[in-house]
């Protein structure tokens, strides 16, 4: 089943590629005014994806709020570990 892409699909793919290119350039060369909101959104998206797949496997979730999104987005893996330590070691409910 080979399907030829329509013009609309090609334009959507090109738009996505351009947006991702702009984001990567902004993260490499941009100022903090541009970097922090983008990392904030990436952190929130990362937590959302983890929760989406983890809920299907087990009862494991990470709270998704501005503080956790900021911690994971700006601190990256250490931020994720920090959130998990706070949730499961300091305040295990």
5 alpha-carbon distance from chain centroid: 28
**pLDDT score at 1:** 44
- pLDDT tens column, 25-70: 767 776 777 788 888 899 999 999 999 998 888 888 888 999 999 8
Domain presence at residue 1: no
**pLDDT score at 46:** 92
Q: Domain residues for 16?
A: 7-90
The model scores a pTM over 0.85: no
Could you tell me where the DSSP H helices lie in the chain? 7-29, 32-57, 66-75, 77-85
Domain presence at residue 23: yes
Distance between CA atoms of residues 42 and 72, nearest Å: 8
Domain presence at residue 2: no
- pLDDT tens column, 68-84: 998 998 888 998 998 98
**pLDDT score at 44:** 92
- The structural domain count of the chain equals 1
């Amino acid at each position: 089943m080979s399907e030829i892409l329509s013009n609309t699909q090609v334009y959507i793919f090109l738009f996505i590629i351009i947006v991702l290119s702009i984001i990567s350039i902004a993260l490499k060369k941009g100022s903090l005014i541009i970097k922090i909101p983008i990392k904030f959104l990436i952190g929130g998206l990362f937590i959302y994806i983890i929760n989406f797949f983890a809920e299907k496997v087990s009862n494991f979730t990470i709270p998704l709020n501005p503080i956790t999104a900021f911690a994971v987005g700006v601190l990256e893996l250490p931020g994720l570990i920090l959130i998990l330590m706070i949730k499961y070691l300091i305040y295990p409910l």
